Amino acid sequence: MSQHSEKLEGLLNAQAMALADQHLRKAHDASEQIGLELQARLRKLEEGEEQRYQLEAERLCRQIIQAAKLRMDSEHDRLRWALAQDVLHEVARRLQQLTQDAPRYHAVLQDYLAEAAQAMPVGELVAELNPRDLDALRPRWDELAAQAAPGRKVELAPLAEHASGGMRVRSADGRLRVDNTFEGRLARMQEEVLGVIMDRLFNQSGNAA
């Protein structure tokens, strides 16, 4: 992976970890409150006839523990989704900022083309971009393509659908494609982000236990 791509992907873990630490405090506070409620209810039962209320105490314990687990599972799911969306929104925002820095952005597009060319078999390629990037790159396309995919013919073409940035590269016959549009990359990131956050949640829960 290129230096430019590594920097973009590096946003993922850093943002996920920071946001996870921020939001997990709420989940931990909820867990502590559940424990206090459990202890209070058990103390109340112990004040009466212990033998008489033993079965009731066990039943209440099971109910409270089950309710706590459901609440924590639900909270983890909510946190995981909220954190993932926060991370993806932040990455999308920074990608849009990237498009305002033409030299750096064009270098990233060149990296995307190089990655696609390496991943696809020998043959002609078609690089599809949005109209803005198409117009910006057309004057120097031959030079950029020669550096990114030496010895291969790479034609420019407009994307059929909307993309805020990035590039999709396909084979001339359209059978193979590498989607490095911003939307395509964010869609692939989502599963990775969710996995990172889930690992973080489980690690935090295990440490707290």
pLDDT per residue over 164-194, tens digit each?
999 999 999 999 999 999 999 888 888 787 7
Average pLDDT for residues 144-165, to the nearest whole number? Answer: 94
Domain of residue 84 covers 11-99+193-208
- Provide the pLDDT for residue 144: 96
Do 31 and 92 sit in the same domain of this protein?
A: yes
Position 119 in a domain: yes
**pLDDT-above-70 percentage for the chain:** 61
The residues pairing with 59 across neighbouring beta strands, listed in sequence order, are: none
* pLDDT class of 52 with cuts at 50, 70, 90: low
Do 112 and 171 sit in the same domain of this protein?
A: yes
* Residue 22 predicted with pLDDT over 90: no
- Provide the pLDDT for residue 92: 84
Of 200, 203, 185, which is closest to residue 19 (Cα–Cα)?
Answer: 200
- What angle in degrees, to the nearest 10, is found between the helix axes of 141-148 and 102-119? 50
* Tens-place pLDDT, residues 82-133: 777 887 888 888 888 989 999 999 999 999 999 999 999 989 999 999 999 9
**Residue 154, phi then psi, degrees to nearest 5:** -130, 115
Do 74 and 33 sit in the same domain of this protein?
A: yes
Do 53 and 122 sit in the same domain of this protein?
A: no
Average pLDDT for residues 1-29, to the nearest whole number? Answer: 63
Position 74 in a domain: yes
**Mean pLDDT over the full length of the chain:** 79
Average pLDDT for residues 53-74, to the nearest whole number? Answer: 64
Tokens, residue 137? 């790159």
Do 91 and 129 sit in the same domain of this protein?
A: no
* Separation CA 32–CA 28 (nearest Å): 6
CATH number at residue 126: 3.30.2320.30
Which residue would you say has higher pLDDT here, 84 or 144? Answer: 144
* Separation CA 148–CA 145 (nearest Å): 5
Instruction: Name the one residue in this structure whose structure tokens are 């990114």.
Output: 148
Do 154 and 199 sit in the same domain of this protein?
A: no
Which residue would you say has higher pLDDT here, 31 or 169? Answer: 169
- Provide the pLDDT for residue 192: 80
- Provide the pLDDT for residue 140: 95
* pLDDT class of 53 with cuts at 50, 70, 90: low
* Separation CA 89–CA 98 (nearest Å): 14
Which residue would you say has higher pLDDT here, 65 or 142? Answer: 142
What letter does residue 49 receive in the DSSP assignment?
A: -
Domain tally, the chain: 2
Position 115 in a domain: yes
